[in-house]
Structure 1
Amino acid sequence: MNVLLIGGTGYVGSHLTRVLLARGHTVYTLSRKARPTERVRGADQGVRHLRGDAATGEGLGEAVEGMEAVVYLVALIRERGGQTFQTTIVDGVRNTLAAMQRAGVGRLLHMSALGAARGTGSRYFEAKAEAEELVRASSLEWTIFRPSLIFGEGDDFFGRVLKGLVRAPLPFIPQVGDGHFPFRPVWVGDVAEAFAQALEKPQTIGQTYELVGPKEYSFHQLLLLMKQALGSRKPILPIPLFLMDLAVPLMSPLPFTPITPDEYRMLKSGNTADPGPMRAAFKLEERSLEAELPAILVRR
């Protein structure tokens, strides 16, 4: 099958590329630089890299021609310059849907996010929810995936956010509130495998799947795991939420702020779901966070 990965040179895309190639698919990626990143090099033999930008529509029409399926993976957790939640998450999806319909390409796999909903106060979740609405309103044969926190080689939350909290130049490890917020992180290999299996399962068309890992953790437990993996002896100090509510907006203008107001808002809401429907639809390894965390930190 000819499969176009929009965002295929990114974090999830690099892992999905490997899985699709192993299954015998022909893989194309669309990116602004039209070349593999360090995440993909060494595992992209036979992949064709196309130049384009889904957010603006540049090169998109030509890229989807001749494809049998399109996978939309483009997203960002922090806005940077002209890359905003609106342009990257919403406008990119809108342009992709239009290009697919013009080209007669019917199959779409869309990566959203667990927690995406209107009225959350998170601009990221709001944008993801709007993109989902566009996908569902289309005439395409779509499948939506809503992964929880994704861990694995090259991840952002464990390799940057939590690592930054533990290694911050402080005599303690700051914990948001009492740390009770629940999370069910999912291995990137399982995310990639679910996408690949969906291409071979017509029964997944018109369905939305929440992708989560085998174990639920509180935020406090995640900090403990990270502390142990990094060999830190600093104590964990709970920071009352009212102080965090004041401090996070003050830190946000800093170029290397450990957490943005949007990330903080999502953190407080937790991120977990029932793995039952996912397990019924896909055969996944469900690798544990404990098994991958040491390697994640070394590679990062």
Structure 2
Amino acid sequence: MDVLVIGGSGFIGVRLCTELSNRDHEVIAVSRSPDDSELPGDVDTEMGDVTAYDSLSGLFDDIDVVYNLVALSPLFKPSGGDEMHDIVHRQGTENIVRAAEANNVSQLVQLSALGADPDGTTAYVRAKGRAETAVTESDSDLDSTIFRPSVVFGDGGEFISFTKLLAPPYVSALPGGGKTRFQPIWVDDLVPMLADAVETDTHHGEIYEIGGPERLTLAEIAQMIHTADGRSTTILPVPMSLAKIGLTVGDLIPGFPMGVDQYRSLQFDNVTDKNNIDAFARTVDDLTTLEAYLSGETDYEADTRVPA
């Protein structure tokens, strides 16, 4: 099949393009700044911006499947403010659906997020929910598959570096004592499922919640990460009311990486109601734990970068 991967130069996109290429699909990776340095030689690259329909419309000719992987991180306050979530996620998806409909694309795979809800608590989950609505309410014969993963970790990802920023070694002052739960999934466990979705029509019209093999609190994750680095950390609980004040002030400071939306996100667990990995013939025993990744039991080294 001819496959267009929008966001193909990103953390998940590079791996997905490689997986699809290895399965003998013809793949085009689309991004605002195309970079083929990490892509297989048979994967083509094109420039496209989801917020600008005209930059996309000419890329959909003779395409069978489109993946929309484009996303702003929910972990950090976006440059331009929280309204950027709506511009990139909702409006960007609407542009993709419009281009797919105009070119008779048969299938769209949408990478969404756990908790996506048009009326959700954070700007991120609202925009993700409205993006899903744009996909499911398409008037064409466009078949869709929506994935809602928990946080995704792996080499080149930002979840581990974000945790180190939020919870530094030795003493970590965490909102609510770090009791928010996550279900981290390794990127190289997620990507094959994304690829499987286009190889049988049984996934058409489905929405899948996808998580890793464990449900871990933020405090447990922080301690696990620092232990892997040969350090320790003591969790110092910060009342959520104080965290709200601090991150509200942070919203007003240019360049401060977090704000009120991040505070709101920490009030809710990021875990599946039902982990739908069984739809792809996987069990939790097939998945890589965060601890196994951090200890080097995978093919990739842990990401140790801390954002500037």
Q: TM-score, normalised by structure 1?
A: 0.91
Distance 1:95 1:102 in 2: 11
CA contact (8 A) 1:53 1:59 kept: yes
1:129 aligned residue: 129
1:46 aligned residue: 42
SS of corresponding position for 1:199: coil
Amino acid at match of 2:293: E
**Residues 1:65 and 2:61 aligned together:** yes
Q: 1:296 aligned to 283, 287, 302, which one?
A: 302
Distance 1:6 1:189 in 2: 18
SS of corresponding position for 1:145: strand
1:96 aligned residue: 96
Q: 1:90: how far off?
A: 0.8
Q: 1:32: how far off?
A: 1.8
Amino acid at match of 1:95: N
Q: 1:298: how far off?
A: 4.0
Distance 2:150 2:261 in 1: 16
Amino acid at match of 2:78: E
CA contact (8 A) 2:154 2:303 kept: no
CA RMSD of superposed structures (Å): 2.0
CA contact (8 A) 1:75 1:89 kept: yes
* 1:233/1:276 CA distance change after superposition, 3 Å: closer
Q: 2:71 aligned to 69, 75, 80, which one?
A: 75
Percent identity over the alignment? 32
CA contact (8 A) 1:164 1:258 kept: no
* 1:191/1:27 CA distance change after superposition, 3 Å: same
2:196 aligned residue: 197
Amino acid at match of 2:136: R
Amino acid at match of 1:167: P
Deviations 1:169-211 (A, max 9, x none): xx72111113322211111112211110001121100000011
**Residues 1:5 and 2:5 aligned together:** yes
Q: 1:242: how far off?
A: 1.2
CA contact (8 A) 1:93 1:131 kept: yes
Deviations 1:242-279 (A, max 9, x none): 11111111123445535332122112211001454322
1:162 aligned residue: 163
* 1:218/1:133 CA distance change after superposition, 3 Å: same
1:250 aligned residue: 249
Distance 2:274 2:289 in 1: 14
CA contact (8 A) 2:210 2:276 kept: no
Q: 1:87: how far off?
A: 1.6
Distance 1:19 1:217 in 2: 28
Q: 1:96: how far off?
A: 0.8
The count of corresponding residues between Structure 1 and Structure 2 is: 293
CA contact (8 A) 2:184 2:211 kept: yes
2:218 aligned residue: 219
Q: TM-score, normalised by structure 2?
A: 0.88
CA contact (8 A) 2:182 2:217 kept: yes
CA contact (8 A) 1:166 1:227 kept: no
SS of corresponding position for 1:167: coil
CA contact (8 A) 1:214 1:275 kept: no
**Residues 1:85 and 2:81 aligned together:** no
Deviations 1:89-113 (A, max 9, x none): 0111111111111111121000110
Q: 1:153: how far off?
A: 1.2
- Once the two structures are overlaid, the 10-residue window that deviates more, 68-77 or 57-66, is 57-66
Q: 1:297: how far off?
A: 3.2
Distance 1:299 1:79 in 2: 19
Q: 1:71: how far off?
A: 0.2
CA contact (8 A) 1:249 1:261 kept: yes
CA contact (8 A) 2:4 2:29 kept: yes
SS of corresponding position for 1:58: helix
- Once the two structures are overlaid, the 10-residue window that deviates more, 277-286 or 195-204, is 277-286
* 1:287/1:275 CA distance change after superposition, 3 Å: farther
**Residues 1:116 and 2:122 aligned together:** no
Q: 1:53: how far off?
A: 1.2
Bigger helix share: 1
Distance 1:62 1:118 in 2: 30
Q: 1:235: how far off?
A: 2.1
Deviations 1:57-78 (A, max 9, x none): 1321111111110000111024
Distance 2:120 2:183 in 1: 19
CA contact (8 A) 2:157 2:303 kept: no
